[in-house]
Amino acid sequence: MELTNTIGTIHSDENAACSASVVVSAWYDRYGTDVLRLCFMYMRNLADAEDALQETFLKIWRKLDRYEGVPYTDRDGKTTTPVVNDIVALSEFSGNAQWADLVGHIGYDKQHREVFNFGKHKGKTLEQVFNQEPAYYDWMMKADFPLSTKQVVMQVQRRIVEEKRRKDQEKLQALKLKFEG
Residue 90 CA, distance from chain mean position? 15
φ, ψ dihedrals at 79, nearest 5°: -100, 130
Whether 23 shows a pLDDT value over 80: the answer reads no
Band the pLDDT of 15: cuts 50, 70, 90.
very low
- C-alpha–C-alpha distance, residues 119 and 145, integer Å: 13
Provide the pLDDT for residue 34. 82
Which pLDDT score is estimated for 9? 36
- Return the amino acid letter for 119: G
Segment 104-124, tens digit of pLDDT: 899 899 898 999 999 999 999
For CA atoms 106, 100, 98, 69, the dihedral sign is negative
Asked if pLDDT for residue 96 goes beyond 60, the answer is no
Residues 6+ apart with CB under 8 A from 92: 82
Beta bridge partners of 4: 9
Give residue 3's Cα distance to chain centre: 26
Q: Is 34 in a helix, a strand, or coil?
A: helix
DSSP conformation letters of 107-157: EE-TTS-EEE-SGGGTTSBHHHHHHH-THHHHHHHHSS--HHHHHHHHHHH
Indicate the Cα dihedral angle 5, 66, 84, 76, nearest 10°: -110
| Percentage with pLDDT > 90 across the chain | 37
Q: How confident is the model at residue 162 (pLDDT cuts 50, 70, 90)?
A: very high
Q: Largest Cα–Cα distance of the chain, in whole Å?
A: 84
pLDDT (0 to 100) of residue 12:
39
The total number of residues shown for the chain amounts to 181
